[in-house]
């Protein structure tokens, strides 16, 4: 399998689009009969009657569950691997191809591959893969630059390696050439010309822009622009830019724009404005007021500028970029959330506002531009009640993961899809929470396809006290399906961390289940800021014994009751003064 069953990787979950391979009583749900992977091993997920021996390449699979489920792994050689599973007279043949990095037999330009726009004196680096005996040069305008061979480089694994404890880098083969060039003159340098001995190859175009006439853009993507640390989705997210944010473009790589404050954004998330428009703001007085469960802080600006937000224990920090303060007065009254607001300029064009909070736990925030005025809203703590319904007035959103005919989620050894068990659990959990007085919102109440954006918007629209996304797990191909099990909790914003840790520990201890771990993870269902939001992976669909626990009706009821009690106990703990 090339991914895990988290919602952000639904396209690569176990068997999500593959029918189970079955002949009589032997059934294999993963991998498909023909499969390509870069992993050094692969697992086989399936089932057969427990009294029937199952062999993998002639070796009996001895470690099976009482119901006959199995999940052995087998090492893969580079290239084609022919693998046979057999149960009695039933025989299944698999062709698994393991890909490995190839030593280049001909030169290959690697960087840059997209057209570039840079400013004078920016440094541009060029990288190519080539056989060890080739001279590699690059011509940029009138500059002829020889590329130098690099020593063996550490190649980082995928982010998914953290899920299987294989996050160390591996040494790549020594076949890379690299050098850098500082371009000082404004102008169009034309396409790069790569030179490999007698070969010539045209590449990306480079242009150096006039720094006094840089384009101005405004974020117009609904729900805000996705800012990143670099020019592709491989780079980490920064604080989203509210609709209306304005900035100058200091560079471009392909379809990605490098904004003046440091972040990168896709060109299709902004509109271009007149380059004569200002992008540096002035700020003076700041005010605050309380509005039905929220404290709203108003930052009047003459230009809507990029922002950054950081949360910490009893701290909330807002940074305004491209901003010059002229502040003499700030009004923050006695408040349920804010103890004190301090501010300071970080440099000539950045201002930092540090909110010291009354409580360690934060309950959500919203930020948006209303014209040129930035509105920051901090949520007040919920109030628990006495008596048999302590959660009266508390709203909890439950998201049963996956759903519909296309998004099955991970599949158990007998083909049971994840979407069924998440929905079953949600239907058992909702009445348990309602008995405690909570208002429960389900993102889906039937077997329908609901994309990640719709689920995220449901959280924003409902404004719950807490948001919980229910899932069951699987592994990448390189994982050990037979020996990996347990409950995992995933969070993104610091306001969700304590809830994730508490639920992971509480469920594991109360249910006597293994603990898979607690993970910071950039998931669509953990990114909403309006409330603490946690995604739970409540066990591994692909683990033979754990799958039997997952689908057991009595165990499902116990899990629902325990999860409801865990949410209550955490809320009681988190709302204490």
* CATH code of the domain covering residue 236: 2.30.30.40
Domain end point (choices 349, 379, 409):
379
DSSP 502-523: HHHHHHHHHHT--EEEEEE---
Beta strand 533-540 with 466-473 is: parallel
- Residue 435 in domain: yes
Q: Are residues 53 and 136 in the same domain?
A: no
Report how far residue 473's alpha carbon sits from residue 385's, in angstroms, rounded to the nearest whole number.
35
Residue 94 CB partners (closer than 8 Å, separation 6+): 31, 33, 34, 35, 44, 82, 83, 84, 85
Cβ contact 41:73 at 8 Å: yes
Q: Tokens representing 475?
A: 């592994």
Cβ contact 146:136 at 8 Å: yes
Q: Are residues 63 and 93 in the same domain?
A: yes
Q: Tokens representing 251?
A: 């560079």
Q: Tokens representing 484?
A: 């990996």
**In which residue are the tokens 């689009």 written?**
17
Sheet harboring 307-312: ordered strands across? 307-312, 315-321, 350-357, 338-347
Distance of alpha carbon 310 from its chain centroid, rounded?
18
Q: Are residues 416 and 563 in the same domain?
A: yes
- Residue 357 in domain: yes
Cβ contact 37:21 at 8 Å: no
Rounded to the nearest 5 degrees, what angle is found at the Cα of 89, between the Cα atoms of 88 and 95?
100
Domain end point (choices 80, 98, 116):
98
Per-residue pLDDT, 13: 38
Cβ contact 537:516 at 8 Å: yes
Q: How many domains does the chain fold into?
A: 5
**In which residue are the tokens 């399936």 written?**
46
Q: What CATH number did the domain enclosing 522 receive?
A: 3.40.630.40
Cβ contact 449:404 at 8 Å: yes
pLDDT, tens digit only, all 577 positions of the chain: 543 444 333 333 344 334 454 445 999 999 999 999 999 999 999 999 999 999 999 999 999 999 999 999 999 999 999 999 999 999 999 999 999 877 777 788 999 999 999 999 999 999 998 887 778 999 999 999 999 998 887 778 888 888 887 766 666 666 889 999 999 999 999 999 999 877 889 999 999 999 999 999 999 999 999 999 999 999 999 999 999 999 999 999 999 999 999 999 999 999 999 999 999 999 999 999 999 999 999 999 999 999 999 999 999 999 999 999 999 999 999 999 999 999 999 998 999 999 999 999 999 999 999 999 999 999 999 999 999 999 999 999 999 999 999 999 999 999 999 999 999 999 999 999 999 999 999 999 999 999 999 999 999 999 999 999 999 999 999 999 999 999 999 999 999 999 999 999 999 999 999 999 999 999 999 999 999 999 999 999 999 999 999 999 999 999 999 999 999 999 999 999 7
Per-residue pLDDT, 451: 95
Q: Are residues 352 and 468 in the same domain?
A: no
Q: Are residues 306 and 445 in the same domain?
A: no
Q: Are residues 494 and 558 in the same domain?
A: yes
Cβ contact 149:137 at 8 Å: no
- Residue 170 in domain: no
Q: What are phi and psi of 226, to 5 degrees?
A: -90, 105
Q: Are residues 179 and 237 in the same domain?
A: no
Per-residue pLDDT, 167: 63
Report how far residue 567's alpha carbon sits from residue 570's, in angstroms, rounded to the nearest whole number.
5
Prediction pTM value: 0.93
Per-residue pLDDT, 7: 38
What is the separation, in whole angstroms, between the first and last Cα of the chain? 47
Q: Are residues 374 and 295 in the same domain?
A: yes
- Residue 390 in domain: no
Cβ contact 237:230 at 8 Å: no
Q: Are residues 185 and 234 in the same domain?
A: no
Report how far residue 47's alpha carbon sits from residue 2's, in angstroms, rounded to the nearest whole number.
21
- Residue 184 in domain: yes
DSSP 32-73: -SEEEE-SSEEE-EEE--TTS-EEETTEE-----TT-EE--E
Per-residue pLDDT, 12: 37
Beta strand 246-253 with 122-129 is: unpaired
- Residue 162 in domain: no
Per-residue pLDDT, 130: 86
Q: Are residues 300 and 361 in the same domain?
A: yes
Domain end point (choices 379, 404, 427):
379
Q: What CATH number did the domain enclosing 131 receive?
A: 2.60.40.10
Count of residues in the chain? 577
- Residue 450 in domain: yes
Domain hosting 90: range is 7-98
Q: Are residues 443 and 544 in the same domain?
A: yes
Q: Are residues 235 and 181 in the same domain?
A: no
- Residue 145 in domain: yes
């Amino acid at each position: 399998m090339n991914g895990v069953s988290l919602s952000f990787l639904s396209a690569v979950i176990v068997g999500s689009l593959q029918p189970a391979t079955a002949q009589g009583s032997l059934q294999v749900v993963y991998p498909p009969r023909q499969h390509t992977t870069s992993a050094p091993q692969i697992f086989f997920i399936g089932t057969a009657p427990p009294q029937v021996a199952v062999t993998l390449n002639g070796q009996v699979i001895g470690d099976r569950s009482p119901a006959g489920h199995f999940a052995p792994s087998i090492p893969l050689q580079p290239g084609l691997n022919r693998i046979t599973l057999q149960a009695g007279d039933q025989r299944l043949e698999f062709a698994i191809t393991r890909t490995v990095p190839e030593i280049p037999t001909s030169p290959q330009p690697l960087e840059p591959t997209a057209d570039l726009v840079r400013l004078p004196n920016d440094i541009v680096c060029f990288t190519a893969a080539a056989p060890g005996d080739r001279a590699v040069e690059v011509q940029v305008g009138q500059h002829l630059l020889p590329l130098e061979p690099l020593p063996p480089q550490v190649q980082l694994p995928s982010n998914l390696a953290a899920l299987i404890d294989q996050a160390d880098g591996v040494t790549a083969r020594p076949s890379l050439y690299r050098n850098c060039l500082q371009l000082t003159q404004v102008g169009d340098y034309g396409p790069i010309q790569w030179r490999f001995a007698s070969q010539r190859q045209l590449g990306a175009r480079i242009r150096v822009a006039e720094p006094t006439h840089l384009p101005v853009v405004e974020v117009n993507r609904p729900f805000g622009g996705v800012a990143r640390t670099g020019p592709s989705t491989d780079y980490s997210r920064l604080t989203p830019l509210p609709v209306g944010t304005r900035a100058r473009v200091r560079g471009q790589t392909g379809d990605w724009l490098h904004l003046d404050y440091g972040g990168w954004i896709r060109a299709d998330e902004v509109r271009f404005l007149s380059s004569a428009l200002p992008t540096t703001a002035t700020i003076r007085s700041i005010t605050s007021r309380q509005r039905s469960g929220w404290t709203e802080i108003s930052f009047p600006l003459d230009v809507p500028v990029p922002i950054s937000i950081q949360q910490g224990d009893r701290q909330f920090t807002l940074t305004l970029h491209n901003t010059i303060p002229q502040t003499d007065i700030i009004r923050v009254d006695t408040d349920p959330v804010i103890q004190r607001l301090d501010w300071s300029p970080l440099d000539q064009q950045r201002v930092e506002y540090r909110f010291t909070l009354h409580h360690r736990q934060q309950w959500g925030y919203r930020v948006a531009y209303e014209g040129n005025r930035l509105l920051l809203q901090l949520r007040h703590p919920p109030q628990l009640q006495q008596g048999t319904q302590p959660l009266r007035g508390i709203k909890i959103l439950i998201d049963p993961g996956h759903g519909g005919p296309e998004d099955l989620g991970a599949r158990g050894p007998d083909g049971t899809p994840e979407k069924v068990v998440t929905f079953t659990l949600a239907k058992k959990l909702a009445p348990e929470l309602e008995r405690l007085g909570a208002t429960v919102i389900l993102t889906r109440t039937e077997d329908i396809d609901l994309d990640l954006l719709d689920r995220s918007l449901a959280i924003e629209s409902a404004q719950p006290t807490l948001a919980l996304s229910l899932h069951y797990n699987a592994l990448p191909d390189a994982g050990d399906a037979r020996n990996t099990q347990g409950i995992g909790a995933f969070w993104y914003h610091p306001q969700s961390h304590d809830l994730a840790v508490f639920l992971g520990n509480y469920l594991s201890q109360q249910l006597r289940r293994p603990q898979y771990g607690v993970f910071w993870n950039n998931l669509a269902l953990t990114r909403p800021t309006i409330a603490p939001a946690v995604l739970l992976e409540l066990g591994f669909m692909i683990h033979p014994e754990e799958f039997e626990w997952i689908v057991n009706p009595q165990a499902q009821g116990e899990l629902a009751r325990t999860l409801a009690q865990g949410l209550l106990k955490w809320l009681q703990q988190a709302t204490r003064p």
